[in-house]
Amino acid sequence: MTFEHDDLFAPLPAIDPALNRPDRIVVVASTNELSRRSHYMRLAIATKALPVSRRELINVVADAIYGFKGKIVWPSGQAFAIPYVDDAFGNDGSFRWVSDFLRFAEEAPRQMPQQRIIARLRLIDLYFRIKHPERARLIAE
């Protein structure tokens, strides 16, 4: 693994409460962005660096999204309809998919992410856009 993504492994700064204000607008990642292998891998790296278990990850993502007071929109500006996080992750109590996803922090995916997981990736990416916008910019490079 190269050192070009080391900043994604760095400890996250404290979450600034000012990020959760009603006038803030967060734009979700497009399907094209999420389909890039580079974005997929950087998202896995950043997610693996979070100090949470695979089971807790889903709760952290849900809390960030449902607790956000600002607006969440598509790149076109249209309102984003927030799905049920549990449904997006397939109501999988074992959270095996999360473990499989985190492996891509160490080894590059051989193919683009499948369409069936784009909603999951979008929610994880949205977590970073809401709580850690600087880290989200690094992921989206």
pLDDT per position as a tens digit, 66-118: 999 999 999 999 999 999 988 888 877 667 888 888 988 888 777 777 888 89
Cβ-proximal residues to 6 (8 Å cutoff; 6+ apart), any chain: none
Q: What is the pLDDT of residue 1?
A: 44
Per the domain annotation, does 13 fall within a domain?
no
Per the domain annotation, does 82 fall within a domain?
yes
Q: How many domains does the structure of the chain reveal?
A: 1
Number of neighbouring beta carbons within 10 Å of residue 32:
9
Closest to 36 (Cα-Cα) out of 134, 127, 125: 125
As a whole number of angstroms, the distance between CA 68 and CA 129 comes to: 11
Range of the domain at 25: 18-140
- Torsion, Cα 92 97 98 103, to 10 degrees, reads 160
- Total-model pTM: 0.84
Question: 27 in helix, strand or coil?
Answer: strand
Per the domain annotation, does 8 fall within a domain?
no
Q: Cβ distance 126 to 12 under 8 Å?
A: no
Q: What is the pLDDT of residue 86?
A: 86
Nearest 5°: the CA angle 122, 105, 141 is: 55
pLDDT per position as a tens digit, 37-74: 889 999 999 999 999 988 899 999 999 999 999 999 99
pLDDT per position as a tens digit, 10-39: 666 566 666 777 889 999 999 999 999 889
For residue 138, name the pLDDT band (cuts at 50, 70, 90): very high
Q: What is the pLDDT of residue 30?
A: 95
Per the domain annotation, does 24 fall within a domain?
yes
In angstroms, how far is CA 101 from the centroid of its own chain? Answer: 11
pLDDT at residue 139 above 50?
Answer: yes
Per the domain annotation, does 58 fall within a domain?
yes
Q: What is the pLDDT of residue 2?
A: 46
Q: What is the pLDDT of residue 89?
A: 84
As a whole number of angstroms, the distance between CA 14 and CA 91 comes to: 30
